[in-house]
Structure 1
Amino acid sequence: MYCPLEPHQHTIVQPASCCGVGLHTGRTVHLTMKPAPVDNGIRFFRSDLGGHTPVRAVLDKVIDTRLATTIGDQGVVVSTIEHLLAALRSSDIDNVDIELDSAEVPIMDGSAEPFMKLLKQAGRNRQEGVRRVLRITKPVSFTDRDCTLTVTPHDGFKVTGKISFDNCLIQTQTYSIEFTTERFCKEIARARTFGYVEQVEELWANGLALGGTLENVIAIHWDRRSILNEDGLRYQDEFIRHKVLDLVGDLTLLGCPLLGHVFSFKAGHTQHLGFMEAIVAARDCWELVELDADGSPAVRDGVADGNQSSAKALVAMPHLRPSQAIPVAC
């Protein structure tokens, strides 16, 4: 079975930094990405809190999904991580340490493009460790009211997103993409976060979205027919493209690349979390495999085999240990 992934893990060549404001705190944030060793994964460090406690970007560290994805460990919290994670996933970066001096990743222009540019500046370094991949073998579905997410077996990583809004501007939009770094850069990375003007005003009144401006948020007009941003939309269907961006970022919390076709309907961060928990719980619907030198999955190392390699893989990614708490049909 073909797998369009490089078999080796990658980190960045050199540190790269940026500065921006937190969308919700409004505070200036300095962020630096640094190279990390094999099997390190993605870790965040808060330099303003001493920088001693890492927060791993994995599923079991998620503590909040309201408005953004937030992770935390031992009192150290980092929020609004999804755009940066999407850039890392789409750049095929497995191992990196991220240092920031505030509780929130800077929003930049509301998209993943500034982080893609930062990663290009940092360079990409091939490492000796092989990649582990979560390969879907049977469909897994998650439903929350009128929101649905499903993943089915697929040789690559494909995402199809669909949204439906009761207004003239957005209406129903669908977008599907077979992921490569090039396609993400061209079709998804520049899509910005969005919201209704009155929602932003309500958030301001409650001490949230303090860093939100027309420079980093698409503000939908009260009439639901236009936006307030003078430069207009970057894509005609920028809304669904940003939803796909968010989903890709959140799926990075599985801790390794996903092989499968994900379909999402009207889902947000909370549903993404439930979906990932459903995948992990659906023990008979996936294999955790290592890639051979040619990039193809080595089934003999799949979790389903229960062999020694499988045990080592689960030690490296303990958040993928299946839980029996979440029923799922597969």
Structure 2
Amino acid sequence: MREQTLKKAVEVVGIGLHKGVPVKMRLEPLPENSGIHFFRNDVGVNIPLKPESVVDTTMATVIAKDGYRVSTIEHLLSAVHSYGIDNLRIVLDNEEVPIMDGSSIGYCMLLEEAGIEQQNSNKKILRIKKPIEVKDNDKFVRLEPNKECIFDFSIHFPHPAIGTQKYKFHFSTKNYKEEIARARTFGFLKEVQYLRSKGLALGGSLDNAIVLNENGILNQGGLRYKEEFVRHKILDAIGDMSLLGIPLLGAYISYAGSHKLNHLLTKKLLSEDKSYEIMELGDIEQTYDYAYERI
């Protein structure tokens, strides 16, 4: 399989989840071997997608260059990665990606509107060769060798609507759209005042997040999936791991993982070159051609 970009540019206007400011986003094709870049056209700053660009992981993944930030990139990147897009320019006129409805399904629709174009260079992947892990007490994120790309996630919240949830996701574009993309971010009503005092969740509402009080869910329509909370954690993890800049072949396993732990895992992996190898997709065409099914 070859590298991919968009067939045409597409635009959307929305608000940021944490800053609550209006933002216009334009997705533009890039030539092969360009990678993924964020461009703040209000300040003229280009930020390449790589672990070194990450400056904050509090409630969202934030990248920056020369003091100019782009926040809450993980939902968009989750969709971009899951549609097999290697080369892309994401143009923003403010510091946060639009939150849409709190999931990634809106981004999936935007990518389908643009269309996917195959390019000339072979797609490369990063194959995990030996286990690698980052821990924080009982919380952990781990990568293990596997012939498939798998995300296996567990969470526990002492809340009647969540409790213990587990989900094992076998990656493909089709599976992503059906099983993961509609899972929304979530938060607790009792924490909203504190978050807003820290300049976070200023754009949050029942239209773009699952909101929980002490007893249950405030959203009138309820949940989209039985395990929507842990499925959203997988959505986040796919986006965070895309900062590797290359598709991953292996098993991602986590208990109570976070943006912070995911970032530390990408840094640790890239610092230990015996833990992985870079392969051209042509070497294992049958394994990975299935993963990026055409929608």
Q: Quote the residue 1:118 is aligned against.
A: 110
Q: Aligned equivalents of 1:274 and 1:204: distance in 2?
A: 26
1:239 to 217, 229, 245: 229
**8 Å contact from structure 2 (residues 159, 214) kept in 1:** no
Q: Quote the residue 2:276 is aligned against.
A: 286
Query: Aligned letter for 1:124?
Result: I
Q: Quote the residue 1:47 is aligned against.
A: 41
Query: Aligned letter for 2:27?
Result: M
Q: Report percent identity of matched pairs.
A: 40
Q: Aligned equivalents of 1:282 and 1:93: distance in 2?
A: 26
State the TM-score, normalizing by the size of structure 1.
0.84
**8 Å contact from structure 2 (residues 58, 260) kept in 1:** yes
1:127-142 to structure 2, matched below 5 A, reads 127-142=119-134
Q: Aligned equivalents of 1:236 and 1:221: distance in 2?
A: 18
Query: Aligned letter for 2:12?
Result: C
Shift of 1:268: 0.7
User: Kindly tell me: are residues 73 and 206 of structure 1, through their superposed partners in 2, closer, same or farther at Cα, counting changes over 3 Å?
Assistant: closer
Q: Aligned equivalents of 1:55 and 1:8: distance in 2?
A: 24
- 1:99 paired to 2:86: no
**8 Å contact from structure 1 (residues 82, 249) kept in 2:** yes
Secondary structure, aligned partner of 1:211 = coil
Q: Count residues with an aligned counterpart.
A: 287
**8 Å contact from structure 1 (residues 196, 221) kept in 2:** yes
- 1:12 paired to 2:6: yes
Q: Quote the residue 2:67 is aligned against.
A: 75
User: Kindly tell me: are residues 222 and 264 of structure 1, through their superposed partners in 2, closer, same or farther at Cα, counting changes over 3 Å?
Assistant: same
State the TM-score, normalizing by the size of structure 2.
0.94
Q: Quote the residue 1:177 is aligned against.
A: 169
Could you tell me which runs of 5 or more consecutive residues in structure 2 were left unpaired when the two chains were aligned. 288-295
Q: Aligned equivalents of 1:242 and 1:119: distance in 2?
A: 19
> How far does the alpha carbon of each residue in 1:220-253 deviate from its partner, in whole angstroms, 9 at most, with x for none?
1123xx1111111111110000000000000000
Shift of 1:46: 0.7
Q: Quote the residue 2:247 is aligned against.
A: 257
**8 Å contact from structure 1 (residues 159, 178) kept in 2:** yes
Q: Quote the residue 1:3 is aligned against.
A: none
> How far does the alpha carbon of each residue in 1:31-75 deviate from its partner, in whole angstroms, 9 at most, with x for none?
0000001111110111111x3x31011111101000100001122
> Which moves more between the two structures, 135-144 or 285-294?
285-294
Shift of 1:282: 2.4
Query: Aligned letter for 2:52?
Result: D
**8 Å contact from structure 1 (residues 140, 282) kept in 2:** no
Could you tell me which runs of 5 or more consecutive residues in structure 1 were left unpaired when the two chains were aligned. 1-6, 298-330
Root-mean-square deviation (Å): 1.3
